Amino acid sequence: MGLKYTKIKGTRDILPEEYSLWRELLERAFKILRSYGYNFIVTPTFERTELFIRSIGDTTDIVEKEMYTFTDRGGRSLTLRPEGTAPVVRAYLENHLIPPQKLAYFMNMFRAERPQKGRFREFWHLGVEFIGVRDPSADAEVVELAYRLVHEFGVKEIKLEINSIGTVEDRKRYREVLLDYLRARKDELCEDCRRRMERNPLRVLDCKIDGPKLLDAPLLTDYLSQASKSYFEDVLEYLRRWGVPFEVNKRLVRGLDYYTETAFEIKSGALGAQDSVGGGGRYDGLVEELGGPPTPAVGFALGFDRVLIASGLQGYREPLDYFIAYLGDEAREKGFEVLQALRKRGKRAEISHEKKSLKSQMKLADRLGARYALIIGDEELARGVVKVRDMETGEEKFLKPSELP
RNA sequence: GUGAGCGUAGCUCAACUGGCAGAGCAUCGGACUGUGGAUCCGAGGGUUGGGGGUUCAAGUCCCCUCGCUCACCCCA
């Protein structure tokens, strides 16, 4: 309170207790991703603004309102990455990686939105991009992997929704049909939807107000080509066979042009209005869009911050193996000696750097969660031992430093 | 960008229709100068988010502003 320097709106500090949870969940994730053949990649925090404009397209709202864009000293327009797919594909092309590639990442992202529950201006994505393969089994594997991770993270009330959005051509045809339908009902639509209609008609169907009223609206599913339909059926068949519970949501869409075929989203009832913990799908158009050869790809991103909220898991403080307490200068020196030896053995050990009363030192030992307190005084010095106090039972015994457990 | 709710000690919250800013927890110290977690005693810690106004008097009423939270918009 009254502090001059506080964190920027929409950012947050990850304190030690929460970080312990990050580490725990990330370790589980690394293990799983490794087993699926993924390799990790990290790209720069900022890129040319052009990269994102090209990948996101002409959705001006996003470009103008939601991105952190600035001009550097050379006059170039740069943008803090709002998502991971375009940078990873850029890195894939720029470094001449050979398909197929399974790339995973854990990186922070930036979007200039008003914060709300589970939505921050700086947030973390755990994602994967499987580049160079087009087969229903690849889509299904990516979906299954996302589901498995979310499950492994302990996210509560998981719901996996999936749909096919076909090809760009399929969507173009459908868009016209849907627009005709919506225009005919313009008067019944809410204010937002009337505005939304011309710019992004597919979104009108998941409007909280109008969506439920438009039950007889034409569905994208019915306008897919035969090839897309059977591709989707094959994806679902794999999921069934692998025991992944899903729900087909025929209104699930993606806004950008480079998306194709499979689209999915994982939601959790443990979140607020922003109830998606992650999503993904196939994007066969993007690699070419960014200047590479036509290359199929599929991937997903999980919102790590939301995963944490939806898992309900609490962090914990890392306990100490030993705390060394001493009485007098000579004992202090001996204490540091023992401390070094313990640390060399990989033990988590601490000492009171400031000379304080034994009582204060014991208090510190307790607060730091020490398993054992080692007490060194004149008596111990003379006998070449330390007094080992079990902080749980209060039991004490004398041991030579080399005999410590 | 829009809307609503909330800002009092480090944390959780009190303070009747305007009348001396408090408690619990936490922190530090002492009771116990070689022993933590329990108990008892004590201490520190606040421009009541900030600014302005009304009033003899403002945490309380009015205006402005900042911050937080949630929702809308948007959602790559």
pLDDT tens readout for residues A199-213: 888 889 888 888 888
The reported pLDDT for the residue numbered A58 is: 67
Residue A234 shares a structural domain with residue A364: no
A112: the nucleotide nearest its CA (via C1') is B74
Percent of chain A clearing pLDDT 90 (strictly above): 80
Measured distance CA(A279)–CA(A378) in Å, rounded: 64
Please choose, from the candidates A326, A322, A343, the residue with its C-alpha nearest in 3D space to the C-alpha of residue A380: A326
CATH of the domain at A98: 3.30.930.10
Round the average pLDDT of chain A to a whole number and report it. Answer: 93
Give the confidence band of A2 by pLDDT, cuts at 50, 70, 90: low
The reported pLDDT for the residue numbered A232 is: 98
A86: the nucleotide nearest its CA (via C1') is B76
Please choose, from the candidates A99, A101, A97, A104, the residue with its C-alpha nearest in 3D space to the C-alpha of residue A43: A104
What 8-state DSSP symbol labels residue A180?
Answer: H
A84: the nucleotide nearest its CA (via C1') is B76
Q: A167 vs A173, A225, A227, A231, A282, CA distance in Å?
A: 10, 8, 10, 11, 10
The reported pLDDT for the residue numbered A195 is: 86
Whether the pLDDT of residue A255 is over 90: the answer is no
> Which residue range is the domain that position A327 belongs to?
320-403
The pLDDT tens digits for A122-155 are 999 999 999 999 999 999 999 999 999 999 999 9
Give the confidence band of A316 by pLDDT, cuts at 50, 70, 90: confident
What ipTM is given for this predicted complex? 0.89
Q: What is the CA radius of gyration of chain A?
A: 28
A191 is near strand B: CB distance < 7 Å: no
State the number of CA atoms in the 13 A half-sphere of A22 facing the CB. 15
Q: Which residues contact A41 (CB under 8 A, 6 or more apart)?
A: A88, A91, A103, A104, A105
Nucleotides in chain B with any atom closer than 7 Å to protein CB: 1-3, 8-11, 27-30, 32-37, 46-47, 49-50, 67-76
Residue at minimum CA to C1' distance from nucleotide B29 = A360
What's the whole-number mean pLDDT along residues A231-239?
98
Measured distance CA(A268)–CA(A17) in Å, rounded: 24
Percent of chain A clearing pLDDT 70 (strictly above): 99
A60 is near strand B: CB distance < 7 Å: no
A188: in domain? no
Residue A283 shares a structural domain with residue A156: yes
What's the whole-number mean pLDDT along residues A211-226?
91
CATH of the domain at A374: 3.40.50.800
What's the whole-number mean pLDDT along residues A255-259?
84
A23: in domain? yes
A335: in domain? yes
Domain count, chain A: 2
Residue A387 shares a structural domain with residue A283: no
The pLDDT tens digits for A103-125 are 999 999 999 999 999 999 999 99
